[in-house]
Amino acid sequence: MAFVNIAIDGPAGAGKSSLSKAVSAALGYIYVDTGALYRAVGLFMLRSGIDPKDADAVCASLGGVRVTLRFVDGQQRVFLADEDVSDAIRTPEASMAASDVSAFPPVRDFLFSLQRDIAAANNCIMDGRDIGTVVLPDAQVKVFLTASAETRAERRCKELAEKGMPTPFEDVLADIVQRDYNDSHRAIAPLRQADDAVLLDTSDLDFDAALAALMDIIKERVQ
Ligand code: DC
């Protein structure tokens, strides 16, 4: 049986995760947040006292990383060994560590088959940076979701405040600009729009309008 795969790529804070979650609920697909995998690897390094920027040390310790995804009612939880780290991976430190470790080819190889295997066995909407370009080049639907850095920083600030982690706008914006730069300038699997992806800019769209636009793109391609 062939499963439907929807690939959503774009920079941090473009709305990938909230929109993908809404699509997954509407279509009954699982939602796979691949950033959580890189965050889990980053968190593992921080907890092990390993500098996430130290390629040799990070790659040498990958053998000890046991990262898995589990789906409960279509909701993804990410585990390091037997610990559910779904909340622990959301701190600014884990974000930056994820961005750092994601630049190393062995880390990307390490997470590649995990992502591919899930997509081969499920109808899914998967979001990340290289899903349409590298992980699922044959996905039926590819969308590159973006928004201005300021819009994305505003959204992230709101999200962090709602989660009880209020953070100054300037810090969030600086973090987003730095991560955009890291993610699009790394040598391997940089953030870029796949040639056959549809560009959706949500800077001037509220959530409902963005969701409607995304659902239209999907419906045109999936019967
Ligand atoms: O989407 P996110 O903010 O949770 O992603 C965390 C980091 O992981 C991000 O800085 C880039 C990296 N990442 C990646 O390189 N490839 C992916 N498919 C997903 C995330």
Q: Torsions phi, psi of 67, nearest 5? A: -110, 135
Dist. CA 53–CA 99, nearest whole Å: 9
Question: Residue 65, CB half-sphere, CA atoms under 13 Å: how many?
Answer: 28
Dist. CA 9–CA 180, nearest whole Å: 13
Q: How confident is the model at residue 165 (pLDDT cuts 50, 70, 90)?
A: confident
Residue with tokens 């390993």: 50
What average pLDDT does range 154-176 have in this prediction? 91
* Cβ-contact 7, 136 below 8 angstroms: yes
Dist. CA 219–CA 223, nearest whole Å: 7
Indicate the residue type of 76: Q
Of 20, 125, 29, 114, nearest in space to 67 by CA = 114
Q: For atom 10 of ligand 1, which residue has the closest CA?
A: 99
Of 10, 2, 30, nearest in space to 201 by CA = 10
* Cβ-contact 84, 77 below 8 angstroms: yes
65 has pLDDT over 70: yes
pTM of the model: 0.91
What average pLDDT does range 25-36 have in this prediction? 95
Q: Ligand 1, closest atom to CA 89?
A: 4
Lookup: tokens for 205: 């769209």
Q: How confident is the model at residue 85 (pLDDT cuts 50, 70, 90)?
A: very high
Give the largest CA-CA distance in the chain: 49
What average pLDDT does range 57-65 have in this prediction? 97
Please state the separation of Cα 165 from the chain's center in Å. Answer: 20
Centre of ligand 1 to C-alpha 128, Å, is 6
pLDDT tens, residue by residue, 191-213: 899 999 999 999 999 999 999 99
Dist. CA 118–CA 104, nearest whole Å: 22
73 has pLDDT over 80: no
The residues pairing with 6 across neighbouring beta strands, listed in sequence order, are 125, 141
pLDDT tens, residue by residue, 110-124: 999 999 999 999 999
* pLDDT score of 1: 62
Centre of ligand 1 to C-alpha 170, Å, is 21
* pLDDT score of 186: 84
Q: Of all residues in the chain, what percent carry a pLDDT higher than 70?
A: 100
Residues with Cβ within 8 Å of 47's Cβ and at least 6 positions away in sequence, in order, are: none
- For residue 17 and ligand 1, the question of a CB distance below 6 A is answered with no
